[in-house]
Structure 1
Amino acid sequence: MSSSPSSYPGGAQPHAGTGAAPAAASPAQRDALYRKLTWHIIPFLFLAFIVAYIDRVNVSFAKLEMLSDLSLSETVYGAGAGVFFLGYFIFEVPSNLILHRVGARMWIARIMVTWSIISCLTMFTQGPMSFYALRFLLGVAEAGFFPGIVLYLATWFPSNKRSQIIALFMVAIPVSGAIGGPLSGWIMQHFGGMHGYAGWQWLFLIEGIASLLVGIAAFFVLQDRIETVKWLNADEKRLLAQDLAADDSTRAHHSVRQVFGSGRVWLLGLLYFCIAMGNYGLVFWLPTMIRAAGVANLGNIGLLSAVPSLVSAVAMILVARHADRHNERRMHVAVCCLLGAAGMVASVLLAQHLWWSMAALIVAAIGINSIAPVFWGIPTAMMGGAGAAAAIALINSTGNLAGFVSPYVIGFLKDSTGQLLPGMIVLACALVGGACIVMSLKPQRSHA
């Protein structure tokens, strides 16, 4: 994660700073090492992703008041929610290449501080143009955060640990829903009208300040180099570098130019686009779907939106562990895509029956939220070095264009038809397409 081209954190080599090669480590020693790594690295990244995701999707709750206050249509909301991803797409690859050079500590902190400031400024939205501009700038500011973390984890954990480690990090998505939903509903209910500002304005301000504090902390908490980590002893550092060297030897190293010319990388980007269509359809429209099922109170919508998130958080970890244990990812991704598709459509078809609709939303959340941790085990096992930084960013940015397409299409179809069902059918088709794409991929390694 530094200017060194090495794929080890800070350019560490297998026996950096040591004498003779260490004796072979026992399984118990390796388990202890990776438990220690997990406890020292994942909790802060988990917290950072929670505040990032809340800031990204809190517009779905702000929408419940914002549209009427500013006289915005569903189509304008969908376009504004999605234009975030255009800025994200344009600056994703450059951001990840900079992170590869300067290190995660400095760059992740920069990303978080700038996006939190822009998130706070969203409270001053006046109409469609200012809404579009602020959402676009928020995407520019956040570009590189998620792929940067995936790259960071790939330089601390070998590929046979990676799906479950990424799952522990990405479980922040459903947890952010479980926290962000009730929190957003509570803020809008209790702060609305205070000092002349609407509830949705307080929502952007309060949740943006939380991100700012975490961003400042990132500069002091994250570590870029094995050698500077104080919570690993010399033997643990040698063992970690040895494992990373062995894992790195199985990965191809490509230039940035080769990555952009790789058909497999672009196909993975298309696959991630299909996955993200379902994901952003769920996160941006979940409150609206719950309201359509007959729930009017904002606080109750927030509480109910937490249920699919909490259940899927457990499912994410279990699915990722199962994928790592069996060294199989394609079938896991495909099955989860199909579950997500079925759940999204069923939730709307059953909208007249609240609890059946909620059960379908839980199935959708289990399927959709369980895909990404397993999916990211595929590209991170393929390549290392600057090529990995570019490939991860390219796949993520291409896939996240769905963040623009998904809410815009659903908003347009809802305005045109007055119903959510046509939009949910489009999302289901995207997820089924993703299942077909992943099963068409020929695994290059046993881990894919």
Structure 2
Amino acid sequence: MELVTMAKVTRRLIPFVVLLYFVNYLDRVNIGFAGPNGMNEDLAMSATMFGFASGIFFFGYLLLEVPSNIALMKFGGRRWLARIMLSWGLISTATAFVPNAEMLVVLRFLLGMAEAGFFPGIILYLTFWFPEKQRSKAVSYFMIAIPVSTAVGATLSSLIIDWGHGILGLAGWRFMFLVEGIPAIVLAFVCWFYLTDRPAEARWLDPDERQWLQTTLDGERATTEATQHWPLKKALSHPRILALAFIYFGITYGLYAVGFFLPTIVADFQQLYGTQLNVIQRGLVTSIPYVVAALVMVPWARNSDRTGERVWHVAIPALVGAVSIPAALYMSNPYLAMVAVTLSTCSVMCALPVFWALPSSFLVGVAAAGGIALINSLGNISGFSAPYITGWLTDLTGDPKLALWVVGVLSLAAAVLVVALGARPKPIDHSRP
């Protein structure tokens, strides 16, 4: 029963949410491909201004993350996720027509507000469908969209920029924003009709399969509530939640620092190593770390589910990232530099899916909606600070090395803290007054 039911759930939901996140993440980071391919020059943007425009997205994101996830609990996943996708798709396409850097900053802020709640909403939605022992694997399948969207997106965006230049009278980078925003609008309508809110409503499962899955999930939820009982107020203020948010911040800081600036680093290979690459070749080279990461992250999460071990499956990749990220710019040739960048990318992508098993192991219901959203929103302050600080330090020193040392230190701090924190809080002793 379990194998057949979960196979059906996986086939029905995972490919679709991966597609949604592919489009979502590409719309979030494609500014990284636009910057060194005409946008920075056309809008007269310095590295600091580019970092600010890349990261301001996360201020709007932070403002609405918790309310958005609580709204998902109220209105259901299919309705609320469709609303998010429609609004972000419209704003993303509008980015193609920005007249100056100031308007780009405004649209990036609005894009963050529109998208707020999508990622934690999917994480919460998966807890409605996957029992705890299968959750890391499910999240890893979902999050494989990050390296895939960046790997495919690097080449795809480069091709659109190169081939689309002049179409509709737009520069290549403007045409890229237009083309890559449209799928979100289309998928918003698909989402409304395709997704199912809860197993009990899933007509695509047999009645006994629906009953087994809903009973299993309800039993896990009841056990967690009995042993932990975290109300929403506690989930939004407890030091453990804030510590998890810092761990997430430390891990994702490297993701965004590398993600937004890797195309620029590859573009600088000519100056650093004398390597000549055209726009399409730079896109292909940029995709390499993400292709490798997509291959290793799912087996890593499966091993965590199989063993039930979470802490070291987060800490070990974070430690690898702490060393490999700053080491990338000390390599003597572009091949060694790409090895270091690939290691750092793999480390982040292995840590993230297992990380989300930590809060979902002791948060359920509205507390899960609020707690998961809070961890994601506070942790994603890295989405602003990483590109902005990286750009500012690069402008200040004329060299990206110091900026990447900051990435390494934060990754190390995340590894130390997750080990100190452990997997889950101690059960509540109800025998004590």
TM-score normalized by structure 1?
0.91
Per-residue deviation at 1:310? 1.1
Which 10-residue stretch deviates more, 298-307 or 108-117?
298-307
How far apart, in 2, do the equivalents of 1:245 and 1:105 lie? 20
State yes or no: 1:59 paired with 2:35.
Answer: no
State yes or no: 1:200 paired with 2:176.
Answer: no
Pairwise CA RMSD:
1.4
State yes or no: 1:262 paired with 2:243.
Answer: no
Please tell me whether the aligned partners of residues 104 and 222 of structure 1 are also in contact (alpha carbons under 8 angstroms).
Answer: yes
* Residue of 295, 312, 334 corresponding to 1:354: 334
Secondary structure of the corresponding residue to residue 423 of structure 2: coil
Secondary structure of the corresponding residue to residue 205 of structure 2: coil
* Residue of 403, 410, 416 corresponding to 1:423: 403
How far apart, in 2, do the equivalents of 1:248 and 1:227 lie? 15
Please tell me whether the aligned partners of residues 304 and 310 of structure 2 are also in contact (alpha carbons under 8 angstroms).
Answer: yes
Please tell me whether the aligned partners of residues 58 and 380 of structure 2 are also in contact (alpha carbons under 8 angstroms).
Answer: yes
State yes or no: 1:210 paired with 2:189.
Answer: no
* Residue of 328, 341, 347 corresponding to 1:367: 347
For residues 230-263 of structure 1, give each alpha carbon's deviation from its aligned partner in whole angstroms, at most 9, with x where no partner exists: 2211111111022112211332343221212211
Q: State the match for 2:429 in structure 1.
A: none
Which 10-residue stretch deviates more, 180-189 or 209-218?
209-218
Per-residue deviation at 1:442? 3.1
Q: State the match for 1:403 in structure 2.
A: 383
Alignment of 1:66-77 (within 5 A): 66-77=39-50
Q: State the match for 2:268 in structure 1.
A: 292
Alignment of 1:48-127 (within 5 A): 48-64=20-36, 65-127=38-100
Secondary structure of the corresponding residue to residue 180 of structure 1: helix
How far apart, in 1, do the equivalents of 2:70 and 2:103 lie? 30
For residues 133-190 of structure 1, give each alpha carbon's deviation from its aligned partner in whole angstroms, at most 9, with x where no partner exists: 0000000000000000000000111111100100000001000011100000000000
Secondary structure of the corresponding residue to residue 51 of structure 2: helix
How far apart, in 1, do the equivalents of 2:9 and 2:169 lie? 47
How far apart, in 2, do the equivalents of 1:195 and 1:157 lie? 46
Q: State the match for 1:6 in structure 2.
A: none
For residues 320-342 of structure 1, give each alpha carbon's deviation from its aligned partner in whole angstroms, at most 9, with x where no partner exists: 01111111111111110111222
Please tell me whether the aligned partners of residues 45 and 169 of structure 1 are also in contact (alpha carbons under 8 angstroms).
Answer: yes
What number of residue pairs does the alignment pair up? Answer: 418
How far apart, in 2, do the equivalents of 1:131 and 1:53 lie? 18
For residues 352-390 of structure 1, give each alpha carbon's deviation from its aligned partner in whole angstroms, at most 9, with x where no partner exists: 511111111111111011111000000011110100000
Please tell me whether the aligned partners of residues 160 and 175 of structure 2 are also in contact (alpha carbons under 8 angstroms).
Answer: yes
How far apart, in 2, do the equivalents of 1:401 and 1:421 lie? 22
The gaps in structure 2 that reach 5 residues or longer are 271-275, 427-433
How far apart, in 1, do the equivalents of 2:62 and 2:23 lie? 20
Q: State the match for 1:386 in structure 2.
A: 366
* Residue of 18, 26, 36 corresponding to 1:46: 18
For residues 381-417 of structure 1, give each alpha carbon's deviation from its aligned partner in whole angstroms, at most 9, with x where no partner exists: 1110100000000000000001000000000011111
Q: Which amino acid aligns with 1:320?
A: A
Alignment of 1:164-175 (within 5 A): 164-175=137-148
Please tell me whether the aligned partners of residues 44 and 101 of structure 2 are also in contact (alpha carbons under 8 angstroms).
Answer: no
For residues 96-154 of structure 1, give each alpha carbon's deviation from its aligned partner in whole angstroms, at most 9, with x where no partner exists: 00001000111000000100110111112222321110000000000000000000000
Q: State the match for 1:13 in structure 2.
A: none
Q: Which amino acid aligns with 1:248?
A: R
Q: State the match for 1:312 in structure 2.
A: 293
Secondary structure of the corresponding residue to residue 383 of structure 1: coil
Please tell me whether the aligned partners of residues 310 and 355 of structure 2 are also in contact (alpha carbons under 8 angstroms).
Answer: yes
Q: State the match for 1:442 in structure 2.
A: 422
Percent identity over the alignment is 39
Please tell me whether the aligned partners of residues 253 and 387 of structure 1 are also in contact (alpha carbons under 8 angstroms).
Answer: no
Please tell me whether the aligned partners of residues 345 and 425 of structure 1 are also in contact (alpha carbons under 8 angstroms).
Answer: yes
Per-residue deviation at 1:194? 2.3
Please tell me whether the aligned partners of residues 128 and 199 of structure 2 are also in contact (alpha carbons under 8 angstroms).
Answer: no
Please tell me whether the aligned partners of residues 48 and 215 of structure 1 are also in contact (alpha carbons under 8 angstroms).
Answer: no
Please tell me whether the aligned partners of residues 66 and 200 of structure 1 are also in contact (alpha carbons under 8 angstroms).
Answer: yes
Q: State the match for 1:14 in structure 2.
A: none
Q: State the match for 1:279 in structure 2.
A: 255
How far apart, in 2, do the equivalents of 1:169 and 1:243 lie? 22
For residues 186-211 of structure 1, give each alpha carbon's deviation from its aligned partner in whole angstroms, at most 9, with x where no partner exists: 00000112232111100100000122
How far apart, in 2, do the equivalents of 1:314 and 1:445 lie? 32
Q: Which amino acid aligns with 1:380?
A: S
Q: State the match for 2:114 in structure 1.
A: 141
How far apart, in 1, do the equivalents of 2:424 and 2:39 lie? 48
Per-residue deviation at 1:445? 6.7
Please tell me whether the aligned partners of residues 33 and 263 of structure 2 are also in contact (alpha carbons under 8 angstroms).
Answer: yes
Q: State the match for 1:344 in structure 2.
A: 325
Which 10-residue stretch deviates more, 91-100 or 234-243?
234-243
How far apart, in 2, do the equivalents of 1:298 and 1:170 lie? 27
Please tell me whether the aligned partners of residues 72 and 127 of structure 1 are also in contact (alpha carbons under 8 angstroms).
Answer: no
The gaps in structure 1 that reach 5 residues or longer are 1-28
Q: State the match for 1:321 in structure 2.
A: 302
